[in-house]
Copies of this chain bind each other. A is one copy, B any other.
Amino acid sequence: MADQQESVLQERGTVRAVERALDVLLCFRTKDELGLTEISKMIGLHKSTVHRLLATLETRGFVRREQTDRYRIGWSILELTSGIYRSGDFSTVVFPEMTALRDRIGETVSLYVRSGFERIRIQAVEGIHAVRRVANIGMRFPLHIGASGKVLLAFCSEPLLDRMEEAGTFPPNFNKAEFERQLEDIRKRGYAVTFEEREAGAAAVAAPIITRQNQVSAALSVSGPIDRFSEANLERFIVACVESANLIGKVFPF
């Protein structure tokens, strides 16, 4: 036994059928309505397999369909999200403080956490000038682009930068030495400022959220159109952002 081929163990102690089902679910972050064959092409599985997985996901409410032939994310997902925010002081402290910061400076306030080589916006309060009302909560962004990404990277305890390089996360023209200098600067100052990095015409200030265990598990950012980030405003934004980040860090549940 334990043949020469080792019988294709995937990684280690993980259930393949479940992985595939989760991959099916993750397809819905790109589009919110998908067909069976569409999904099977996306993840390279045979239709019948995907069909069975979808049927299973449907029994637990993770997937639903109004009209036959079109699948959508189900309501069970919502039930689970509510759990994220319910936890600890999130609703009593974190969200109110973010709102207060927004009211003080008028710009959009966002909260990011790191997940692998990316960051995820887990909460946001739109600026008073914003047109859109619902923030893109849950959206992923690169870790090496944008103020809050750099903060998360700068204050990360592990040598993440090296691992990202190995994994080929960076573009060919990426200057690692220069980037490390930037991170060192951010560590020294205690915050990051970026202009038009992630998005043209936009600027951002970000500060680390330092938990009671002295770990940086999140970043708080203030972002908006570059023309409102004048030198005078910038100073105000930095002070306010760092202050709020410190306050949130005292109760941050993660």
Show the binding face of A for B, using Cβ within 8 Å: 11, 13-15, 17-19, 21-23, 25-26, 28-29, 32-33, 51-53, 55-57, 59-62, 64, 66, 72-87, 90-92, 95-96, 99, 113, 115-116, 120, 122, 132-134, 136-140, 217, 254
Q: In the complex the two chains form, what is the Cα distance from A172 to B225 in whole Å?
A: 61
Chain B residues, Cβ within 8 Å of A60: 19, 22-23, 26
Q: A60-B26, A73-B80, A140-B79 are in contact. Are A52 and B116 (CB under 8 A)?
A: no
Q: A18-B18, A52-B14 are in contact. Are A122 and B78 (CB under 8 A)?
A: yes
Q: In the complex the two chains form, what is the Cα distance from A83 to B81 in whole Å?
A: 13
Chain B residues, Cβ within 8 Å of A28: 80, 83
Choose one: B52, B74, B122, B140; the contact of A13 (CB below 8 Å). B52
Instruction: State whether A32 touches B139 (Cβ < 8 A).
Output: no
Shortest beta-carbon distance from A99 to chain B in Å: 7
Chain B residues, Cβ within 8 Å of A23: 60
- This chain: how many copies in the complex? 2
Q: In the complex the two chains form, what is the Cα distance from A22 to B60 in whole Å?
A: 7
Q: A60-B19, A60-B22, A75-B113 are in contact. Are A138 and B11 (CB under 8 A)?
A: no
Choose one: B21, B81, B133; the contact of A137 (CB below 8 Å). B81
Instruction: State whether B134 touches A32 (Cβ < 8 A).
Output: no
Choose one: B33, B61, B113, B133; the contact of A99 (CB below 8 Å). B133
Chain B residues, Cβ within 8 Å of A96: 133
Choose one: B52, B75, B115; the contact of A15 (CB below 8 Å). B52
Instruction: State whether A73 touches B84 (Cβ < 8 A).
Output: yes
A23: nearest chain-B partner, CB-CB: B60
Shortest beta-carbon distance from A59 to chain B in Å: 6
14 contacts across the A-B interface (CB closer than 8 A): A14-B52, A18-B21, A25-B80, A32-B83, A32-B86, A61-B116, A74-B115, A77-B80, A78-B84, A78-B138, A79-B138, A82-B139, A91-B132, A96-B133
Chain B residues, Cβ within 8 Å of A136: 82, 86
A85: nearest chain-B partner, CB-CB: B134
Q: In the complex the two chains form, what is the Cα distance from A36 to B113 in whole Å?
A: 24
Q: In the complex the two chains form, what is the Cα distance from A73 to B85 in whole Å?
A: 11
Chain B residues, Cβ within 8 Å of A62: 22
Instruction: State whether B33 touches A87 (Cβ < 8 A).
Output: yes
